[in-house]
Structure 1
Amino acid sequence: MTRTWLITGVSSGFGRKLAEQLLSRGECVAGTARRLEAVADLTADYPDAFNVWHLDVTDTPRIREVVDDAHERFGRLDVVVSNAGYGLFGAAEEATDEQVRHQIDTNLVGSIQLLRAVLPHLRADGGGRILQLSSVGGHTAGPGGTLYQATKWGIEGFTEALAAEVAPFNISVTIVEPGGARTSFAGGSLRLPPKLDAYDISPASDVRQALEAGVDAPGDPARIATAMINSVDQVPAPLRLPLGSDSWTPIVSALESRLEDLRARKDVALSVESAD
Structure 2
Amino acid sequence: MSKTWFITGASSGIGRLVTEQALERGDRVAATLRRPEALEDLRAEHGDRLWTARLDVDDARQVAAVVDEAFANFGRVDAVVNNAGFGVFAAVEEATDEQIRRVVETNLFGSIRVVRAALPHLRSQRHGRILQVSTAGGQTTYPNFSYYHASKWGIEGFCETVAQEIAPLGIGLTIVEPGATPTGFGGALATAPVMPEYDAGPAGDVRRALAGGAFPLPNDPAKIARAMIDSLDLEPAPLRLPLGTDTYHDVRASLVARLDELDARRELALSVADDHRAATA
What SS does the corresponding residue of 1:194 show, helix, strand or coil?
coil
Match of 2:58 in 1: 58
- In structure 2, the partner of 1:203 is 202
Q: 1:83 aligns to what? A: 83
Report deviation, 1:192. Answer: 1.3
Map residues 139-218 of structure 1 onto 2, 5 A cutoff. 139-188=139-188, 190-214=189-213, 215-218=215-218
Query: Shift of residue 37 of structure 1?
Result: 2.2
5 Å-filtered alignment, 1:1-276, equals 1-188=1-188, 190-214=189-213, 215-276=215-276
User: How far apart, in 1, do the equivalents of 2:170 and 2:146 lie?
Assistant: 35
Superposition RMSD on alpha carbons, in Å? 1.1
Q: Which runs of 5+ in 2 are unaligned?
A: 277-281
Q: CA deviation at 1:64?
A: 0.5
Give CA deviations for 1:201-258 in whole Å, capped at 9, x if unaligned: 2211222223333434111111000001111100111110000110000111100110
Q: TM-score normalised to the size of structure 1?
A: 0.97
Would you say the 8 A contact 1:90–1:207 is kept in 2? no
- How far the C-alpha of 1:79 sits from its partner, in A, is 0.4
1:248 & 1:17 partners in 2: Cα distance?
22
1:87 is matched by which residue type in structure 2? G
Which amino acid in 2 is paired with 1:30? A
Q: Deviations over 1:150-198 (max 9, x none)?
A: 111001100000000101110001000010112111233x221222233
Instruction: Answer yes or no: is the 8 Å Cα contact 2:99–2:190 preserved in 1.
Output: no
The letter for the 2-side match of 1:239 is L
Question: Structure 2-normalised TM-score?
Answer: 0.95
Deviation (angstroms), 1:2: 2.1
Q: Distance in 2 between matches of 1:90 and 1:208?
A: 9
CA distance in 1, matches of 2:261, 2:232: 35
Q: C-alpha distance in 1, partners of 2:211/2:9?
A: 24
Instruction: Could you tell me which runs of 5 or more consecutive residues in structure 1 were left unpaired when the two chains were aligned.
Output: none
Structure 1 CA distance, aligned partners of 2:69 and 2:131? 20
Equivalent position amino acid for 1:40 in 2: E
Secondary structure of the residue aligned to 2:174 is strand
Structure 2 Cα separation of the partners of residues 159 and 234 of structure 1: 18
Q: Separation in 2 of the partners of 1:136 and 1:180?
A: 8
In the TM superposition, residue 126 of structure 1 has moved relative to its aligned partner by 1.4
Alpha-carbon contact 1:90-1:205 (below 8 Å) kept: no
What amino acid is aligned across from residue 122 of structure 1 in structure 2?
A: L
Separation (CA, whole Å) in 2 of partners of 1:251 and 1:103: 22
Find the aligned partners of 1:80 and 1:132 in 2 and give their Cα distance.
8
Distance 2:122 2:144 in 1: 38
Which piece of structure 1 moves more, 32-41 or 150-159?
Answer: 32-41
Secondary structure of 1:93 counterpart? coil
Give the conservation status (yes or no) of the 8 Å contact 1:85–1:106: yes
The 8 Å contact of residues 86 and 102 in structure 2, kept in 1 or not, is answered as: no
Write out per-residue CA displacement over residues 40-78 of structure 1, whole angstroms, 9 at most, x where no aligned residue. Answer: 101111121001111111111100110000011101111
CA distance in 2, matches of 1:34, 1:119: 23
Secondary structure, aligned partner of 1:130: strand
Percent pairwise identity: 53
The residue that corresponds to 2:279 in the other structure is: none
